[in-house]
Amino acid sequence: MATLYEGYTLCGVGPVQNSSNIGILGVEQGRDIDYVLVTDSSRSITVYKVSDQKPTGSWSVKQGQIISCPAVFNTQSQEYVVVTDDRVVRVWKEDDVNLEKAFKATVSADVLRVLSATDSEPVVLFCCGAVRFLDSLLASPQQPIEDVLTEDEIIRWSTIVKAEHQLVVLFSTEQRGEHCLYVQRFNPNTLVKHRIETEPGLSAPISFSATCRGSNIHLLYLYLNGSVYESVLPFRSSSTGAEGVQALSCSLCLSLPLGEEKLMSGAAVVLDEAHVAVIGFPHPSAGACKDYLCIWNTHFQTLQASKEMAGRIYSQLWCYSGKLYVPHGKMLSVIPFDCQKSSLAAAMGKLKQTSRSGKDFSVEIWNICPNVKSALTVDQLVEHIKTSAVEDVQAEVGEFIRRAPQADLQLAAGRVALELVSRSQTDANFYPQCAFLQLLETRYLCYSVCPELLSLAMVKKDFHLCQIAFQIFSDIPEAVTCACLKAILSTPDLEMETVNLDTDSVIFMKELTQAHSRSDEEGGQLNGFCPPALESDVSDTPSNKLQRDPLSLDMSCPVGLHKGALLNEVLQTAYSDRSLLPHLKDLTVPQVIVFLQYLRFLYFKYSHDAHKQIRALRTPSISQIIDWVCLLLDAHFTVLAVAPEAKRLVFDLHKFVRSQVKLYAELGKIEGSLQVLKNSKQSEDFGMYAIQVIELF
Amino acid sequence: MGEFKVHRVRFFDYMPSGIRALAFNRDIERIAVARMDGSVEVFHCSDRFFQEKIIPGREQCGIEGLSWVGERLFSAGLNGGITEYDLTNQKVKYTVDAYGGPIWTIAGNQQGTHLAVGCEDGTVKLFEVNEDKIQFERNLDRQKSRIISLSWHPSGSKIAAGMMDMIQIFNVETGHSVHRLLADRGVGTSRSKECVVWSVVYLSDGTIISGDSVGMVKLWDDQTGTLIKSHNVTKCDVITSYLIVPLEWQNEDSLVAGTSEGTVVQFQFISMVLGKDDKEWVRTRTFKNHTHDIRAVAEITTAVVSGGMDAQLVVRPLLDKVEVRSAASALRKIHFPHRRLVSCARKSGLMLFQYPGHLELWRLGESEGKGSSLFVKRNPEKLLHLKVKGEDHIRCSAVSPCGEWIVYSTASSLRLYRLHCDNNNVSITKISKLPMVLSSANQLCFSSDSSHLFSASTQSSVHLVSLSQSGCKFVGTLKPKSGSHQAIHLLAASEDGKWLASANSDHEVHIYNLQTRKAHCTVPVYSSAVTAMGIHPTTNCLFMMYADQQMCEYSIEQKQYTDWSRMVQRKGLHRFWMERDTPCLNVMFNPQHPSHVILHDTYMLCIIDQSLPLPDDKTQFYNQLTLKSLPEEQRKSHSHAFKVCKTFKDILCVELMSDQSLVVVERPLEDVASQLPAPIKQKKFAT
pLDDT in tens, A624-674: 899 999 999 988 988 888 888 888 888 888 988 898 899 889 998 898 888
Residues of chain A with Cβ-Cβ distance to B667 below 8 Å are none
Q: Is A273 a residue whose pLDDT tops 50?
A: yes
Residue of chain B minimizing CA distance to A689 = B9
By DSSP bridging, strand B114-119 and strand B103-108 are: antiparallel
How far from B389 is each of A281, A597, B394, CA to CA, in Å? 122, 87, 10
Say which residue, A103 or B83, is predicted with more confidence.
Answer: B83
Residue of chain A minimizing CA distance to B639 = A697
Picking from A687, A692, A696, the nearest residue to B374 by CB comes out as A692
Q: What is the largest CA-CA distance in chain A?
A: 125
Single out the residue of B15, B5, B7 nearest to residue B357, CA to CA: B15
**Contact, A302 vs A296, CB < 8 A?**
yes
The CA distance from B461 to B456, in Å, is 6
Where does residue B678 rank: exposed (0-12), middle (13-18), buried (19+ CB within 10 A)? exposed
Residue B189 banded pLDDT, cuts 50, 70, 90: low
A692 to B1: CB separation less than 8 angstroms, yes or no: no
The CA distance from B614 to B263, in Å, is 43
Residues of chain B with Cβ-Cβ distance to A687 below 8 Å are 10
Single out the residue of A304, A309, A310 nearest to residue A279, CA to CA: A309
User: Which of B362, B363, B373 should be substituted to probe chain A, the one whose Cβ sees the most A Cβ atoms within 10 Å?
Assistant: B373
Question: How far off is chain B from A670, nearest CA to CA, in Å?
Answer: 27
The mean pLDDT of A170-187, rounded to a whole number, is 84
Q: What percent of chain B has pLDDT over 70?
A: 95
Judged by DSSP in three states, B684 sits in coil
- A689 at the B interface (CB within 8 A)? yes
For residue A188, say if its preceding peptide bond is cis, omega within 30 degrees of 0: yes
Residues of chain B with Cβ-Cβ distance to A692 below 8 Å are 5-6, 8, 372-374
**Contact, B518 vs B512, CB < 8 A?**
yes
What is the structure's pLDDT at A547? 40
- A687 at the B interface (CB within 8 A)? yes
What is the structure's pLDDT at B247? 60
The mean pLDDT of B422-449, rounded to a whole number, is 89
The mean pLDDT of A231-250, rounded to a whole number, is 70
Question: How far off is chain A from B11, nearest CA to CA, in Å?
Answer: 5
What is the structure's pLDDT at B239? 31
How far from B208 is each of B66, B163, B263, CA to CA, in Å? 21, 14, 22
The CA distance from B630 to B651, in Å, is 29
Question: How far off is chain B from A684, nearest CA to CA, in Å?
Answer: 10
Question: How far off is chain A from B627, nearest CA to CA, in Å?
Answer: 6
Question: How far off is chain B from A681, nearest CA to CA, in Å?
Answer: 11
Rounded to a whole number of angstroms, the CA Rg of chain B reads 27
What is the structure's pLDDT at A620? 85
What is the structure's pLDDT at A695? 86
What is the structure's pLDDT at A369? 35
What is the structure's pLDDT at A434? 86
Kindly report which listed range (A83-87, A236-240, A545-549, B502-506) carries the lowest average pLDDT score: A545-549
Picking from A690, A691, A696, the nearest residue to B645 by CB comes out as A696
Residue of chain A minimizing CA distance to B634 = A697
Q: Is A519 a residue whose pLDDT tops 70?
A: no
Q: Is A120 a residue whose pLDDT tops 80?
A: yes
Residues of chain A with Cβ-Cβ distance to B376 below 8 Å are 689-691
The CA distance from B465 to B454, in Å, is 6
Single out the residue of A415, A360, A338 nearest to residue A384, CA to CA: A415
The mean pLDDT of A152-157, rounded to a whole number, is 85
In A150-301, the DSSP E strands lie at 154-163, 166-175, 178-185, 190-196, 205-213, 216-223, 227-234, 245-248, 251-255, 267-270, 275-279, 292-297
What are phi and psi for residue A623, nearest 5 degrees?
-70, -35
Is the C-alpha dihedral spanning B47, B48, B49, B53 positive or negative?
negative
B2 to A696: CB separation less than 8 angstroms, yes or no: yes
**Contact, B6 vs A692, CB < 8 A?**
yes
Residues 627-686 in A contacting B (C-alpha not used; CB under 8 Å): 686
The mean pLDDT of A563-585, rounded to a whole number, is 88
The mean pLDDT of B419-424, rounded to a whole number, is 82
Is the C-alpha dihedral spanning B211, B215, B219, B221 positive or negative?
negative
Q: Taking all residues of chain B, what is their mean pLDDT, rounded to a whole number?
A: 89
B365 to A691: CB separation less than 8 angstroms, yes or no: yes
B5 to A686: CB separation less than 8 angstroms, yes or no: no
Tell me the pLDDT tens digit for each residue of B644-667.
999 898 999 999 999 999 999 999
How far from A345 is each of A337, A352, B365, CA to CA, in Å? 20, 9, 74
Single out the residue of A313, A306, A339 nearest to residue A327, CA to CA: A313
Residues of chain B with Cβ-Cβ distance to A691 below 8 Å are 5-8, 365-367, 373-374, 376
Partners of B152 in beta bridges: B159
What's CA B258's distance to the chain center, in Å?
21
Tell me the pLDDT tens digit for each residue of A405-454.
777 787 788 888 888 888 888 888 888 888 888 888 888 888 888 888 88
B9 to A694: CB separation less than 8 angstroms, yes or no: no
Counted across chains A and B, CB pairs separated by less than 8 A come out at 71
- A696 at the B interface (CB within 8 A)? yes
In what helix (H) or strand (E) does residue B181 lie, and over which residues does it extend?
strand B177-182
Say which residue, A678 or A353, is predicted with more confidence.
Answer: A678
Residues of chain B with Cβ-Cβ distance to A689 below 8 Å are 7-11, 365, 376, 379-380
**Terminus-to-terminus CA distance in chain A, angstroms?**
62
How far from A279 is each of A5, A206, A291, A293, A482, CA to CA, in Å? 16, 12, 7, 5, 48
A696 to B1: CB separation less than 8 angstroms, yes or no: yes
Tell me the pLDDT tens digit for each residue of B590-631.
999 999 999 999 999 999 999 999 998 888 888 888 888 888
Interface confidence, given as ipTM, is 0.84
Question: How far off is chain B from A687, nearest CA to CA, in Å?
Answer: 8
By DSSP bridging, strand B518-523 and strand B530-535 are: unpaired
Tell me the pLDDT tens digit for each residue of B28-83.
999 999 999 999 999 999 899 999 999 999 888 889 999 999 999 999 999 999 99
Question: How far off is chain B from A676, nearest CA to CA, in Å?
Answer: 19
The DSSP secondary structure of B14-34, one letter per residue, reads --PPPEEEEEEETTTTEEEEE
Output the CA torsion A643→A649→A652→A658 (10° steps): -70
The CA distance from B455 to B414, in Å, is 10
Residue A350 CB contacts under 8 Å (≥ 6 apart), including other chains: none
By DSSP bridging, strand B50-55 and strand B63-69 are: unpaired
SS (H, E, C) A657-691: HHHHHHHHHHHHHHHHHHHHHHHHHHCCCCCCEEE
Residues of chain A with Cβ-Cβ distance to B668 below 8 Å are none
Q: Is A259 a residue whose pLDDT tops 90?
A: no
Q: Is A308 a residue whose pLDDT tops 70?
A: yes
Tell me the pLDDT tens digit for each residue of B565-576.
999 999 999 989
Output the CA torsion A547→A551→A552→A554 (10° steps): 110
**Contact, B177 vs B170, CB < 8 A?**
yes
What is the structure's pLDDT at A17? 53
pTM reported for the whole predicted model: 0.57
Task: Using an 8 Å CB-CB cutoff, list residues of chain B that contact chain A.
Answer: 1-11, 365-367, 370-374, 376, 379-380, 607, 624, 627-628, 635, 639, 643, 645, 647
Q: Is A545 a residue whose pLDDT tops 80?
A: no
SS (H, E, C) B638-675: HCCCEEEECCCCCEEEEEECCCCCEEEEECCHHHHHHH
Output the CA torsion A504→A509→A510→A516 (10° steps): 140
What is the structure's pLDDT at B359? 95
B373 to A688: CB separation less than 8 angstroms, yes or no: no
The CA distance from B604 to B625, in Å, is 15
Residue of chain A minimizing CA distance to B368 = A691
Partners of B303 in beta bridges: B317
Residue of chain B minimizing CA distance to A681 = B373
B624 to A697: CB separation less than 8 angstroms, yes or no: yes
Question: How far off is chain A from B132, nearest CA to CA, in Å?
Answer: 50
Q: Is B231 a residue whose pLDDT tops 90?
A: no
What is the structure's pLDDT at A349? 46
- A694 at the B interface (CB within 8 A)? yes
Residue A344 banded pLDDT, cuts 50, 70, 90: low
Residues of chain A with Cβ-Cβ distance to B372 below 8 Å are 692-694
Residues of chain A with Cβ-Cβ distance to B5 below 8 Å are 691-693
Residue of chain B minimizing CA distance to A684 = B647
Q: Taking all residues of chain A, what is their mean pLDDT, rounded to a whole number?
A: 79
Residue of chain A minimizing CA distance to B636 = A697
- A20 at the B interface (CB within 8 A)? no
Single out the residue of B206, B197, B65, B63 nearest to residue B143, CA to CA: B197
Tell me the pLDDT tens digit for each residue of A30-43.
888 888 888 887 77
What is the structure's pLDDT at A102? 83
The mean pLDDT of B535-560, rounded to a whole number, is 94
Residue B122 banded pLDDT, cuts 50, 70, 90: very high
Picking from A688, A695, A696, the nearest residue to B11 by CB comes out as A688
Tell me the pLDDT tens digit for each residue of B174-185.
999 999 999 888
Kindly report which listed range (A411-420, A592-601, B346-355) carries the lowest average pLDDT score: A411-420
Burial state string for B615-635 with b = 16 or more CB within 10 A and e = fewer than 16: beeeeebebbeebeebeeeeb
The CA distance from B440 to B415, in Å, is 9
**Contact, A316 vs A24, CB < 8 A?**
yes
Question: How far off is chain A from B614, nearest CA to CA, in Å?
Answer: 15
Residue of chain A minimizing CA distance to B379 = A689
Single out the residue of B668, B602, B16, B57 nearest to residue B310, CA to CA: B16
What is the structure's pLDDT at B681? 60
A691 to B639: CB separation less than 8 angstroms, yes or no: no
Residues of chain A with Cβ-Cβ distance to B1 below 8 Å are 695-697
